[in-house]
Amino acid sequence: MATVSNVRLDIDEVDRRRSRVTVRYRICYSSCEAMANTVFRERVTLRGDDPVWDDHLLTLRSSCVKATQGCVERSVSAVVATSSLDEDADTIVLGWVWGNKDEVYARVELDPFEPRRSQGDSGNIVAHFGPARN
């Protein structure tokens, strides 16, 4: 199975309302995956670290990648609203603000692509197509 390693997250302030988020990582494919031209669904998300469950904050990439021989270095970068990184709300009482630190991390997921059956249906046309149509 392909492995994801060296996941690194950088967040740099662009201005008071926007931040540049960059995720860098390495994907290594097995020789069998490369020979088979295996396709994976690649998903890069930002998550908020919390005690009970982690919050999904943003999806930075959701696409398909084809296995190649060896390892590849990948990265995704986007400018996002800084407010979307605020996963632990601050407390405001009578104008006083107590800031709660936000714990944000990147997750990179690879799932083997499995073709599935798909169909779509049109709406009904209601009419007489038999002998009663006259």
pLDDT value of position 8: 96
Domain ranges of the chain: 3-114
pLDDT value of position 96: 59
CATH number, span 3-114: 2.60.40
pLDDT tens, the chain, 134 aa long: 899 999 999 999 999 899 999 999 999 999 999 999 999 999 999 998 877 778 899 999 999 999 999 999 999 999 999 888 887 665 566 565 555 677 889 999 999 998 888 888 888 878 777 777 76
Which residues is 47 bridged to in the sheet? Answer: 56, 105
In SS3 terms, 75-101 reads as EEEEEEEHHHHCCCCCEEECCEEECCC
pLDDT value of position 99: 58
